[in-house]
């Protein structure tokens, strides 16, 4: 009984603190993610207030948080959107991967953390934060801009790539042999293709099977199905998050909308718990030693994301100013970097503090680069252009080097 009391008090104080922090973040117009991480750091081991009673509950909540994050991401996309994006934007996806995953991998190798940690850190620096970026685009009133579909397209490809990357990472972390790893990858690729096919062809059937007029039943069915599939996926070494993402993609139309509205508050709660949990399991004393590599990595991968955005927007025939805006917007990293780091902490404990510092830097800088890359870049372009020609005049459709799409 006494344990329950302590649990309630600890949990209540954590969630209350998160709520107050979230309000503060909303007032400044910031993403609450960095504040949640900081709160976790403050509460956890070596922090100000060690938590003992609620640790197990928070760990489970964090699992559920990751699953719900990916489920809702899947609900936002329809299978046809994913496939069309993959067809039209795959070169941008490849450039994105090469430019942004490599610095992470190289950094891990330089630090001497070994190949598995390199694969994990590559993921941390590769995936932009869909959540932060979607919010920034709305806040800056850029949803109508021509470069916005390009930005969203890059995000979609990254999210889809996660469905291949996470199983691979899980296999590597589990120390599977090459054969075991390939089998896992084959299973996950097969599952992804089957789910995409079924969702494209028979999405209505699935949605009808799940659909219910009663919100309570819909909530229970969707949540139960997702947790069940996530558990099965984990059992097959495919990673629970990917299972949840696929459930989200398979549901479409009315059901997806209803489920989205019902589950969004749950997602917010458990995702906040997840960020806190990540902060809890990181000792604040470990952060200062990795601060310099995190800073270097943040600067390098911010620039590579700008280059990615520039390339992707140029392919779509967008002028230089739009290209800079696309690049600056893509800089923010967030929830997925933390999800990936959370998986890898078991193998390389130092990846936790590094990822925390890295995400803290970029989630704060991301909205700023989204806003200021274009004006600063324009000034830079203007001084760099030796002939007094205005290099910023758009209205020139795709320039000479860009490939037609």
Partner 1 sequence: MEPTAHVSKTALPGVGTRYDLKTDAGAHLSVVVHQDGRRILAFHDPEDDDACKDAAALAPHEATALSKLLVPDPVAHLHQHIEIDLVTEHIPVTKRSPYAGRLLADTQARTRTGASIVAVLRRTAAFPSPTPDFRFAIGDTLVVVGTREGVDAVAELITGG
Could you tell me the two tokens for 273? 């718990």
Least Å from the CB of residue 94 to partner 1: 18
Residue (238 or 250) nearer to partner 1, CB: 250
Sign of CA dihedral 396, 397, 401, 402: positive
Instruction: Determine contact, residues 38/284, Cβ cutoff 8 Å.
Output: no
- Start-end of H helices in 111-177: 115-126, 130-139, 148-173
Q: C-alpha angle 156/161/164, rounded to 5°?
A: 150
Residue (235 or 396) nearer to partner 1, CB: 396
Residue at token pair 């830097």: 361
Instruction: Return the biggest CA–CA distance within the chain.
Output: 79
Least Å from the CB of residue 221 to partner 1: 13
Least Å from the CB of residue 198 to partner 1: 19
Residue (229 or 256) nearer to partner 1, CB: 256
Least Å from the CB of residue 313 to partner 1: 8
Residue at token pair 């800073």: 295
Residue (82 or 241) nearer to partner 1, CB: 82
Could you tell me the two tokens for 76? 């936002």
Residue (105 or 206) nearer to partner 1, CB: 206
**Interatomic CA distance for residues 163 and 59, integer angstroms:** 23
Q: C-alpha angle 276/170/183, rounded to 5°?
A: 160
Could you tell me the two tokens for 184? 């896992």
Least Å from the CB of residue 258 to partner 1: 8
Residue (141 or 265) nearer to partner 1, CB: 141
Least Å from the CB of residue 212 to partner 1: 8
Least Å from the CB of residue 31 to partner 1: 17
Residue (185 or 262) nearer to partner 1, CB: 262
Least Å from the CB of residue 272 to partner 1: 21
Q: What angle separates helix 178-210 from helix 148-173, to the nearest 10 degrees?
A: 130
Residues near partner 1, by CB under 8 A: 73, 76-77, 81-82, 84-85, 130, 134, 137, 141-149, 152-153, 155-156, 208, 211, 213, 254-255, 257-258, 318-319, 321-322, 325, 392, 394-395
Burial of 340 (0-12, 13-18, 19+ CB in 10 A): buried
Count of alpha carbons within 13 Å of 54, Cβ hemisphere only? 24
Residue (10 or 159) nearer to partner 1, CB: 159
Q: What angle separates helix 335-344 from helix 253-280, to the nearest 10 degrees?
A: 60
């Amino acid at each position: 009984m006494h344990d329950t009391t302590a649990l309630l008090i600890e949990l209540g104080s954590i969630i209350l603190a998160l709520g107050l922090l979230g309000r503060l973040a909303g007032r400044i117009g910031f993403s609450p993610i960095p504040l949640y991480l900081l709160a976790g750091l403050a509460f956890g081991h070596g922090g100000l207030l060690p938590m003992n009673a609620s640790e197990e509950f928070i760990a489970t909540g964090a699992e559920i948080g990751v699953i719900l994050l990916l489920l809702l991401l899947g609900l936002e996309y329809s299978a046809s959107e994913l496939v069309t994006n993959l067809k039209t934007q795959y070169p941008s996806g490849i450039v994105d991967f090469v430019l942004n995953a490599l610095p992470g991998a190289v950094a891990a190798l330089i630090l001497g953390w070994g190949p598995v940690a390199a694969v994990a850190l590559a993921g941390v620096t590769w995936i932009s934060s869909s959540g932060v970026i979607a919010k920034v685009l709305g806040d800056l009133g850029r949803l109508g801009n021509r470069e916005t579909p390009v930005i969203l397209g890059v995000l979609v490809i990254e999210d889809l790539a996660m469905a291949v990357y996470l199983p691979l990472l899980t296999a590597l972390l589990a120390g599977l042999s090459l054969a075991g790893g390939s089998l896992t990858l084959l299973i996950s690729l097969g599952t992804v293709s089957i789910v995409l096919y079924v969702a494209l062809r028979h999405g209505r059937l699935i949605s009808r099977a799940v659909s219910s007029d009663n919100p309570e039943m819909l909530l229970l069915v969707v949540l139960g199905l997702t947790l069940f599939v996530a558990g099965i996926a984990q059992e097959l070494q495919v990673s629970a998050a990917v299972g949840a993402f696929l459930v989200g993609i398979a549901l479409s139309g009315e059901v997806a909308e209803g489920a989205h509205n019902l589950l969004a508050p749950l997602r917010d709660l458990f995702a906040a718990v997840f960020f806190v949990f990540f902060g809890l399991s990181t000792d604040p004393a470990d952060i200062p030693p990795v601060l310099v590599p995190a800073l270097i990595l943040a600067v390098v991968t911010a620039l590579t994301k700008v280059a990615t955005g520039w390339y992707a927007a140029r392919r779509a025939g967008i002028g230089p100013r739009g290209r800079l805006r696309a690049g600056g917007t893509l800089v923010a990293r967030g929830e997925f970097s933390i999800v990936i780091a959370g998986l890898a902490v078991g193998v390389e404990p130092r990846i936790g503090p590094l990822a925390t510092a890295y995400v803290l830097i970029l989630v704060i800088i991301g909205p700023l680069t989204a806003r200021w890359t274009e004006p600063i870049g324009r000034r830079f372009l203007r001084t760099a252009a030796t002939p007094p020609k205005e290099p910023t005049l758009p209205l020139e459709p795709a320039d000479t080097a860009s490939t037609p799409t």
